[in-house]
Structures are given as C-alpha cells and as structure tokens.
Amino acid sequence: MTQSKITVGILALQGAFLEHKLHLQKAVRHASPGSLLDTTKFEIVEVRTPEQLAAADALVIPGGESTAISLIAERSGLLEPLRQFARVDRKPVWGTCAGLILLSDEASKARKGGQELIGGLHVRCQRNHFGRQTESFECDLALPFVGDDEPPFRAVFIRAPIVEKVLTGADLTADVANDVVRAPKLDAEADDYKTAPIEVISSLPSTQGKEAGDIVAVRQGNIFGTSFHPELTPDVRLHRWWLQECVLGRGESRI
Ligand SMILES: NC(=O)CC[C@H](N)C(=O)O
C-alpha cells in the first residue's frame, strides 16, 4: 500500500477490541524512526457499521465470543460486508481467537449452534480446543520476528481454538459434517480459490505439555489468524509485525 493515510479498523461489536486499539496505537508510536511504519500515517478506528467498515483499509477481529460477534454482525448488517472485505476485496484482516474462528472456512459448531462464519482462511478450526476458561494457559511461541537475540513472545490462550486441518478444494466441496459449520461460498471469489497458500506461522512448542505441534497462527494471503490473545500482554511486537508485514506488505519478517 502506498497511500498517504491508512485506516485500520477494529471490529468493536464484542470482546477485546479496546486492547487491540491501544496495542496498534502503541506499535505505531514506537516504530523505529525513519521506518515505513514510522513515516506512514495511520488512523485506528472502531468499526460497528458497514459505513465504518467501508472506510477501513485493514481490519482486526478481536477475541471474545465468536457466536456473539457473528450474531451482532448479522444484526448490524455487517456479515456480508465483512465477507466482501476479507474474501473479495482481499483487504488485510487479522483475527485473534474468536476472530480466527470467524475467519475460518470451517469450524466445529458452537454448542448452541447458530453461528455464521465470515470465512476466507481455508482451514478448519476447532473451538475451545484446550477446554474451559480454567484451562487457560500461557507459553512462549516461536514467531517470525523472534530471533535468537530477542526475548520470547509470551502468548495467552483463553478458551482458544486451534487450526485442526488445512482444507483442500475437495474438502470444501464435500458434504459438511454434522458437527461443523462452513462459511457460505461467494460467487465473486470462485475463481480465486487456491491463489494464496496457507502458511503455518506458529505451532505449540513441544515443551508446552499440551499437544505439541498444534497450529496456533496461520496466514493465507491477506488473512492472518492467531489462536491466542497478543493484545493481553504488554508486548506489541506482533501488532507491529502485522502492520508492517500484512498491512504495509513489505514482505520482510524482521522489523
Ligand atoms: N478467547 C476467545 O476469543 C475465546 C473464543 C471462544 N471460545 C469462541 O468460541 O468464540
């Protein structure tokens, strides 16, 4: 993107949107002097209406409760515009936790059902993979910007999903399983399928004592998803990476 001002929206219907806003503001404020991040003008705004979404160049979908977020999005007339934003316009979108669930093409069903997905990431997500709130945990994760000389990134998992399967075109045209919800197909993106490969950005380390190797961060083209809550620790490096890598698209991992 080369425009003079970039508007980054945060879907502010439910969940941890304020924390993301503060992290994005801090990431911009603390950019290395003279870097692209430093010289670009950002506006960080809360998004609650289709008009506000239309004014955004990029979007964060926070953690919270994916069923509630999708229900409010539907009632606010945002569900279809969100699908268009992520899947047809292909603007940069980052979903954390509940946001990752909503951006997945398939997810295990919520107990009470009724959840609509935005879709876009060709993955199947398993909701609440690690169990209840009391099973929340933290661990150090390998992320692209954490070099040998950098402090580790502490990730917070709260009723977190994982990516249990990377989907193929055949998976997405097969009948959908009973316990799975699938995002609707969009005619406008039909020919685009497979254009961007899924990149596994991070998996749980073997030291964690959970299931080592569980995928907790993925990127497919313009869409980035993380199982954990990077906005709940003081570390803004992942927000800075996303702005630099996915929004400004410089294609360099180290910043
Ligand atoms: N921290 C979170 O965002 C939890 C997500 C929640 N388990 C859901 O299914 O929506």
Q: What string of DSSP letters covers 71-113? A: HHHHHTT-HHHHHIIIIIS---EEEETHHHHHHEEEEEPPTT-
Q: Is the Cβ–Cβ distance between 146 and 202 less than 8 Å? A: no
**Residue 98 is part of which domain span?**
5-247
Q: What is the percentage of the chain residues whose pLDDT exceeds 90?
A: 71
Confirm whether 73 is domain-assigned: yes
Mean pLDDT of the residues in the chain: 90
pLDDT confidence of 12, banded at 50, 70, 90? very high
Tokens of 99: 């946001």
Residue-level pLDDT at 224: 97
Number of domains in the chain: 1
For residue 63, report the phi and psi dihedrals to the nearest 5 degrees. -80, 165
Confirm whether 254 is domain-assigned: no
Confirm whether 132 is domain-assigned: yes
| 246 in catalytic set | no
Residue-level pLDDT at 187: 83
User: With a 6 A CB cut-off, is 128 part of the ligand 1 pocket?
Assistant: yes
pLDDT confidence of 254, banded at 50, 70, 90? very low
CATH number at residue 195: 3.40.50.880
pTM across the whole model: 0.93
Residue-level pLDDT at 1: 53
Confirm whether 43 is domain-assigned: yes
Residues 152-170, mean pLDDT to the nearest whole number = 92
> Residue 194 pLDDT > 60, yes or no?
no
Between the CA of 234 and the centroid of ligand 1 the distance, in Å, is 21
Q: Which residue has the higher pLDDT, 129 or 135?
A: 129
User: With a 6 A CB cut-off, is 63 part of the ligand 1 pocket?
Assistant: yes
Q: Which atom of ligand 1 is closest in space to residue 63's alpha carbon?
A: 3
Confirm whether 252 is domain-assigned: no
Spatial CA neighbour of 172 closest among 180, 220, 129 = 180
Confirm whether 134 is domain-assigned: yes
User: With a 6 A CB cut-off, is 217 part of the ligand 1 pocket?
Assistant: no
Confirm whether 255 is domain-assigned: no
* pLDDT tens figures, 25-43: 999 999 999 999 999 999 9
pLDDT confidence of 245, banded at 50, 70, 90? very high
Confirm whether 163 is domain-assigned: yes
Residues 128-144, mean pLDDT to the nearest whole number = 88
User: With a 6 A CB cut-off, is 20 part of the ligand 1 pocket?
Assistant: no
